Amino acid sequence: MRKGLTKKQRFLNACNRLPVDKTPVWIMRQAGRFMSAYRKKRQAHSFIEMCKEPEIAAEVTLLPVQRLDVDAAIIFADILLPLEGMGVGFGFTTHDGPVIHNPIRTANQVNKLIIPQPEESLGYVLTAIKLVKQELGSDTPLIGFSGAPFTLASYLIEGGHSQNYLLTKTMMLNATDTWHALMDKLSKIVLLYLGSQIKAGADVVQLFDSWAGCLSPSDYEKYVMPYNRTILSGLKKYKVPVINFATNNAGLLELMSKSGGDVIGVDWRISLDKAWKQIGYNKAIQGNLDPAVLFASPSEIKKHVKSILKMAGRHNGHIFNLGHGVLPTTPEPNVKALVDFVHELSEK
């Protein structure tokens, strides 16, 4: 037990499986459409404008810290931003859904992809990180992030969201050399990008492998895991905690743990205690409330929070989060109630 920790101390202690005064909590997509202040800002700017204007991105990043009392900020950005520097055009639909203008499906297209330096192609993200750090000071940590190679590859190949990832899996299985060439380039880009975020001031980084849960364990191990491992091992030199996250990952947890990272993020499709046993108590865990619970009554939300905290038990190293991003129509007061419940029920 540690009394009177700052949010940064609390969060970093949890990442490193050290004692905390209360369980730290942050929420994926916490700076987003469920917040009235975000929606107001969004009326005046397109989504991509908000990402590319450092002052706006910094302002949006800080909203959840100011309004929800979460224990960490996460930089406001999008996982597709690195693709532009590679020579890939993309846009967003009215509802912010991504669309790749020229999907990557041949070896020739992969060969033409550029591996840019983040300072040149993503300088606006790094500037936003620096601005946020100036505002947060030393009390609250900032999380940087990137999409993982498989998730970025799936967007590149499918041209946007997909239900079954058929084109992605077809390349993976039938054009294996092309697949590995693409994954190799993406892993180099992600490692450079996360490293540059850390150098700009990020205290923690998260690798979002949002769609890896569509894979069988054997395909994940063969076609994806080596590239995630390269990134996660390459980040060790920066000596900051790394969160390794994927959705629908109950069948991949042991492999994800072997891939690396200090914290393994889990979704709601497996109970937290069972997930931690699979991961191993030598790693911290993040999760794992179903985002739909935030549409329930405050008393019901509190019950679910209490249940997850109970499953975490006496083990050091739990970071409370949803199992994936907060849904756009979630009532904002319920999100604040969630954060308060986590702090109240876990206080030592």
pLDDT at 341: 98
Q: What is the dihedral of CA 92, 216, 172, 85, to 10 degrees?
A: 30
Q: Report the largest interatomic distance among the alpha carbons of the chain, rounded to a whole angstrom.
A: 58
Coil, helix or strand at residue 248: coil
Is the per-residue pLDDT at 1 higher than 70? no
Q: Report how far apart, in Å, the C-alpha atoms of 231 and of each of 51, 136, 147, 188 are.
A: 24, 27, 11, 8
322 in a domain, yes or no? yes
Residues belonging to the active site: 29, 33, 42, 78, 155
* Angstrom distance (rounded) from CA 244 to CA 259: 9
Q: Evaluate whether 14 touches 317 at the Cβ level (below 8 Å).
A: yes
Is the per-residue pLDDT at 93 higher than 60? yes
CATH no. for residue 331? 3.20.20.210
Q: Any idea what DSSP says for residue 285?
A: E
11: its two tokens:
């969060």
pLDDT at 148: 98
2 in a domain, yes or no? no
Is the per-residue pLDDT at 87 higher than 60? yes
pLDDT at 28: 97
54: its two tokens:
């450092």
Number of domains into which the chain is organized: 1
Per-residue three-class SS string for 39-75: HHHHHHCCHHHHHHCHHHHHHHHHHHHHHHCCCCEEC
2: its two tokens:
């540690």
pLDDT at 96: 59
Residues 298-311 have a mean pLDDT of 98
pLDDT at 4: 83
Measuring CA to CA, which residue among 97, 98, 78 is closest to residue 89? 98
Q: What is the pTM of this model?
A: 0.96
What tens digit of pLDDT does each residue of 175-233 get? 999 999 999 999 999 999 999 999 999 999 999 999 999 999 999 999 999 999 999 99
Is the per-residue pLDDT at 71 higher than 90? yes
What tens digit of pLDDT does each residue of 147-182 get? 999 999 999 999 988 889 999 999 999 999 999 999
For the chain, what is the mean pLDDT? Answer: 96
**The total number of residues written for the chain in this structure:** 348
What tens digit of pLDDT does each residue of 33-50 get? 999 999 999 999 999 999
Angle between helices 176-200 and 123-136 (to 10 degrees): 40
pLDDT band (50, 70, 90) for residue 283: very high
1 in a domain, yes or no? no
Q: What are phi and psi of 26, to 5 degrees?
A: -140, 175
Segments forming the whole domain that contains residue 23: 7-346
Residues 6+ apart with CB under 8 A from 72: 7, 11, 24, 26, 140, 141, 142, 143, 203, 204
pLDDT band (50, 70, 90) for residue 98: confident
- Per the DSSP assignment, residues forming a β-bridge with 73 are 142
Measuring CA to CA, which residue among 100, 123, 125 is closest to residue 113? 100
CA pseudo-torsion sign 337, 61, 79, 224: negative
Is the per-residue pLDDT at 95 higher than 70? no
113: its two tokens:
């992809």
| Pairing verdict, β 98-100 and 90-92 | antiparallel
Is the per-residue pLDDT at 313 higher than 60? yes
Residues 58-69 have a mean pLDDT of 97
